[in-house]
Amino acid sequence: MGTFLFRRFAAWLPVMAFTALTAAAQGNDTDAGDGMGNGGSAGISDLVEVSGFVDASYTYSNIDDANTFGLDQVEIDLSKNLGGIGTLRADLEWVSDGEGGFTLDAEQGYVTLDLGLGRGEGNHPTLTFGKFNAPIGFELLDAPDMYQFSHALVFDNGLPTNLTGAMLSMDLGGGIDAVVHLSNGWDQNVDSNTDKMIGGRLGYSHEEMGGIGFSAMRGNESGLTGNLTVYDIDLTLTPSPGLIIGGEYNNGKTELDEINVENSWNGFMVMMHYSLTEVMGLTGRYDRFSREISRSAARRSGAQDHPPGNSEVTQQALTIAPTFALTDGLGFLMELRRDFSDDEIFGDGEKSMVNFAFEMTYSF
């Protein structure tokens, strides 16, 4: 019982701290002012900027004829300006665990410093230190930043979500920007080995036409992943008002030298979103992801040999999603998605499945 209460207390501690901070800010607001709301001390908005979103959905899958309503995620984002030399950011999220409960996590938590350190205007590099969204790929993580309910296969299988480490970024001018980062590895808040993963992204953007980026990451992951290498190209085109075309190509591999096994993959996605009116839009997406596991007879470790062989699985997905923007911050969408594979990987020996989702999101 004591452990249970402690876990509950730990989960609500950030909320209690935020409430206390708000109360303290309001308690300090003791000046009379001018009667028109122009007087008084600073409120919570002058101490920290608060934003976030609430994401709820209804989903159906034909595999087991299952359907459910659900609160998928609640996120509160806190940011603080550090006197012109940088910012502090913390994103707290409550995510559905799929069983009726919620898991509290810190999606991001980092300090960003302008290495010019307030020395005036100029093109200075920026240092980000902590846990941050991985700067790789076309699709973004959170629901308000997406054009459909689900992520592409490339996002789910070929990319990290968050990195914990340090990142240097700089605007090189002429629409070119560069990022270099050193981290524990893919979605690893704590590293269990001595090696780190290095990566970066070089991007070019044009105000009217869109942009393109090339990313790469390489390092020795802990556990059963081994040495990991991934390359990714993302493309965004805006050829006309209201039209967004996105594309991504992803290639990677992991190598387990101890058992001489290589897991390689490649995938791509193409999507298009068109704003039909100020309220309604339409998104279409096709994505493909192929994975191959190869094993050779020789083993460098000298342990028991495994027979040589290869296995390959290819997945594809087609997605269509009408979107609706009801008012500032509030919107909903419907998604119909069909996944299919050359192997029986869905449900009880099925090669395809169909999912439907209705999602409503409010951002504040």
Structural domains in the chain plus CATH codes: 71-118 (no CATH), 125-364 (2.40.160.10)
Residue 163 CB neighbour total at 10 angstroms? 27
Which DSSP state fits 123?
-
Rounded distance between C-alpha atoms, residue 93 and residue 172, angstroms: 34
Whether the predicted pLDDT of 223 surpasses 70: no
Query: How many whole angstroms separate alpha carbon 113 and alpha carbon 82?
Result: 9
Give every CB contact of residue 30 below 8 A, 6+ residues apart in sequence. Answer: 40, 41
The answer to whether the CB of 147 falls within 8 A of the CB of 243 is no
Q: Supply φ then ψ for residue 22, to 5 degrees.
A: -65, -45
Q: Beta-carbon neighbour count of residue 174 at 10 Å?
A: 8
Identify the burial level of 344 via C-beta atoms within 10 angstroms of its C-beta, where 0-12 means exposed, 13-18 middle and 19 or more buried: exposed
Give the ranges where the chain is alpha helix by DSSP (H): 2-27, 44-47, 153-158
d(CA 271, CA 241): 16
CA distance 278 to 280: 6
| Measured distance CA(243)–CA(281) in Å, rounded | 10
Specify the range with the lowest mean pLDDT, choosing from 7-11, 110-114, 130-134, 266-270.
7-11
Q: Who contacts 59 (Cβ-Cβ below 8 Å, separation ≥6)?
A: 67, 68, 70, 355, 356, 357, 358
| pLDDT at residue 37 is higher than 50 | no
The pLDDT score that the predictor gives to residue 15 is: 45
Q: Highest-confidence range of 20-34, 154-168, 180-194, by mean pLDDT?
A: 154-168
Close Cβ partners of 302 (under 8 Å, ≥ 6 residues apart): none
> b/e string for 1-33 if b means 16 or more Cβ within 10 A?
eeeeeeeeeeeeeeeeebeeeeeebeeeeeeee
180: helix, strand or coil = strand
pLDDT 10s digits, 71-95: 999 999 999 999 878 999 999 999 9
Task: Report the pLDDT value the prediction gives residue 264, as an integer from 0 to 100.
Answer: 92
* Spatial separation of the C-alpha atoms in residues 323 and 275, rounded to whole Å: 9
How buried is residue 240: exposed, middle or buried, by Cβ count under 10 Å (0-12/13-18/19+)? Answer: exposed
Q: Is the pLDDT of residue 23 over 50?
A: no
Distance CA 114, CA 171 (A): 12
- Give the whole-angstrom CA distance, residue 201 versus residue 216: 7
What are the structure tokens assigned to 323, written together?
């979107």
Residue 17 has pLDDT above 50, yes or no: no
